[in-house]
Chains A and B, each alone.
Chain A
Amino acid sequence: MEDKNYIRERFFPHIWCPGCGHGIVLNNLLRAIEQLKLKKNEIVMTSGIGCSSRISGYVDFHTLHTIHGRALAFATGVKLSRPELKLIVPMGDGDALAIGGNHFIHAARRNIDITAIIMNNRIYGMTGGQFSPLSGYGTRATTAPYTNIDHDFDVVELAKAAGASFVARTTTYHVKEMADILKQAILHKGFSAVEVMSQCPTYFGRKNRLGDAVDMMEHYKNSTVRVGSKKIEKNPDLIERGVFVEKESPEYCSEYDKIIQKAMGTSA
């Protein structure tokens, strides 16, 4: 496998549980990067805290493993201070949308050229299975023993409303689509948000009697459709996958360069 070139092999096997979707995200993110022929020195991967965030330790880029929820804020500093670098920010659902929700919507609003990957396993895995803002009403978790009464976010709708100029969703079952979407997201100039539905068989699966990793991936296959599919009319419970937004919009770092020109009195 060519993409072994991009990992720090000495840390494998990784810490994720058997069947964890996060490994599939890592697998196909590396393929996307390899297909884009990006140089290792031009990539900065910034992550926060949680199972998902451990991804940064495994890749041979400049890696910044930060504090819970703040990966996008750190990434904003890296990117604005050195715009030629490619910023990839993998986050868990709690990391990105609970403690880090503010940074998520504001990075999207700013349209800064960062690729945010929300590895949505609908649970806090590292702490042992507490409900997250994406667990959803009626689910179970160690802290929702009588079922969860918290409603979940729709990450795609949230990112769209916040102004992200690239918004997509895929799953760990749809691996070729995942690599393809990640490539588009990385190439996109502006803030890109990619939700990857990623199974946690250990906690979310077990607590909600969803079977093992295979069963959960079968569920991704059967409960999702390509965006715009007619099937959704008959079955509105189906979840759409694909690219929802891809638009040109002024990018933050480029806009700041114009501010510098204005301040220096060199603008045309």
Chain B
Amino acid sequence: MAKPKCKELIINRDWCKGCGICIHFCPTNVLEMDDEDKSVAMRIEDCICCKLCELRCPDLAIDVVAEPKEKETEN
């Protein structure tokens, strides 16, 4: 079975307060803090869609959108 891939990692910059929880606990080091103390997804290709950043975000600012599962081949 293919690993789920991240299509988009949306961070609502108006809501993000830059606590760094998502960055610290990301198992694949996808996120970084930018100059404005907001979290950004720098390496989205490494994202495994565990969604722990989304679940642990105290600001409800993160939305991890997974690629739709590949359709099974017709037969």
Query: Of B54, B56, B59, which one neighbours A172 at CB under 8 angstroms?
Result: B56
> How many chain A residues touch B (Cβ–Cβ < 8 Å)?
30
Contacts of A30 in B (CB 8 A): 60
B56 touches A1 (CB 8 A): no
1/0 per residue, CB under 8 A from B, across A157-176: the answer is: 00000000000000011011
Residue of A1, A16, A20, A31 most packed against chain B (CB within 10 A) = A1
A14 touches B59 (CB 8 A): yes
B42 within 8 A of A: no
Which of chain B's residues 50-64 have a Cβ closer than 8 Å to chain A?
52, 54-61, 63
Which of chain B's residues 8-38 have a Cβ closer than 8 Å to chain A?
14-15, 17-21, 24-25
**How far in angstroms is the closest Cβ of chain A from B20?**
6
A28 within 8 A of B: yes
Contacts of B20 in A (CB 8 A): 19, 212-214
A13 touches B55 (CB 8 A): no
A217 within 8 A of B: yes
A12 touches B60 (CB 8 A): yes
1/0 per residue, CB under 8 A from A, across B57-73: the answer is: 11111010000000000
Question: How far is it, in angstroms, between the C-alpha of A201 and the C-alpha of B20 when the chains are bound?
Answer: 12
Interface of chain B, main secondary structure: loop
- Using A13-B14, A16-B58, A27-B55 as known contacts, say yes or no to A1 and B63 having CB atoms under 8 A apart: yes
Interface size class of B (residues with CB under 8 A): 10 to 19
Question: How far is it, in angstroms, between the C-alpha of A4 and the C-alpha of B18 when the chains are bound?
Answer: 20
Query: Of A24, A173, A212, A217, which one neighbours B57 at CB under 8 angstroms?
Result: A24
B55 touches A19 (CB 8 A): no
For A201, the closest partner residue in chain B by CB is B19
Which of chain A's residues 2-45 have a Cβ closer than 8 Å to chain B?
4, 7, 12-14, 16-24, 26-28, 30-31
Query: Of B25, B60, B61, which one neighbours A26 at CB under 8 angstroms?
Result: B60
Contacts of B60 in A (CB 8 A): 1, 4, 7, 12, 14, 23, 26-27, 30
B14 touches A31 (CB 8 A): no
Interface residues of B (CB under 8 A from A): 14-15, 17-21, 24-25, 52, 54-61, 63
